[in-house]
Amino acid sequence: MRIARYSTAGQDPEFGVVELAEDGGAHPDSVSTLTGDPLAGPVQYTGARHRLSDVRLLAPVIPRSKIVGVGRNFAAHAAELGNEVPATPLCFYKPNTAVIGPDEIIVPPAASSFISYEGELAVVIGRICKDVPVDRAEEVIFGYTVANDITLRDLQEPDKQWSRAKGFDTSCPLGPWIATHLTLAEASDLMITTTVAGEQRQHGSTALMIRPIAELIAYITSFTTLLPGDVILTGTPAGVGRLEPGQEVAVTIDGIGTLTNTLVPTSVTDTISTSGDNAK
């Protein structure tokens, strides 16, 4: 199942189940509306259905409390930036105000001029959990989506911590929907491909993670409680690089979908408020 969050003209965001043409069902490329937020409680179909082409897809989740990122979880990525693989998972937080959805614009702060992409698998948590054993990690997963951990490289090193470099507004594109049908084993061997202006820059499997998904969940919940809707960014494969203003970056994860966003100059920051999604 694919759970999308979307809006139609002038309406508040709704959740729905996406059916694609590849599914071979009766309603290809459509979204069937749900009565509420499936991360908050039981939902039912309302009977309403929209064509995907008629809705605006939003970030499929706005985390209720936090996004936990994991740095340097692919050996080749750590090496390409001249870093050692950390002895324990290198975790950082992004605020929920960093989240944007598909086709929304990335607007960096004026203090930075080196903006980098990092295509990643994101894990969406489905229940309150603390001290989760590795062998029970799958029980707390609601589903998976595509993420882009946008990073300000010229601030990351001088700051010596990553709040500005990775936590600025629009630094966490998520989408296009949450895939709830994938097993933990399936999610642990998916190909991540990132293109910039149509040119492939990243192509690596989640099987190359130094610490797999279950171990990350166990480690993170050893020091913090995760809530329904919290998101874990599991790290990026090699091939990260610079985004230039006006360039489109697309992250595709096999079995989930494609997340596309465009970097714009800081001179158009006033346009970010028109999306309205982060306020909801």
pLDDT, residue 220, reads 98
Banded pLDDT at 268 (limits 50, 70, 90)? low
pLDDT > 50? residue 18 = yes
Banded pLDDT at 9 (limits 50, 70, 90)? confident
Each residue of 162-200: pLDDT tens digit?
A: 999 999 999 999 999 999 999 999 999 999 999 999 999
pLDDT, residue 81, reads 78
Banded pLDDT at 265 (limits 50, 70, 90)? low
pLDDT > 60? residue 274 = no
Read off the tokens for 162: 């990553």
Quick count: other Cβ atoms within 10 Å of Cβ 29?
13
What residues are paired with 191 via a beta bridge? 205
**Cβ neighbours of residue 176 under 8 Å, at least 6 residues apart?**
4, 57, 60, 101, 102, 145, 146, 257, 258, 259
Read off the tokens for 38: 């499936």
Read off the tokens for 10: 């002038």
Alpha-helical regions (H) of 73-152 = 75-80
Q: What is the mean pLDDT of the chain?
A: 93
Q: What is the rounded average pLDDT of the residues 133-162?
A: 96
Read off the tokens for 241: 């690089």
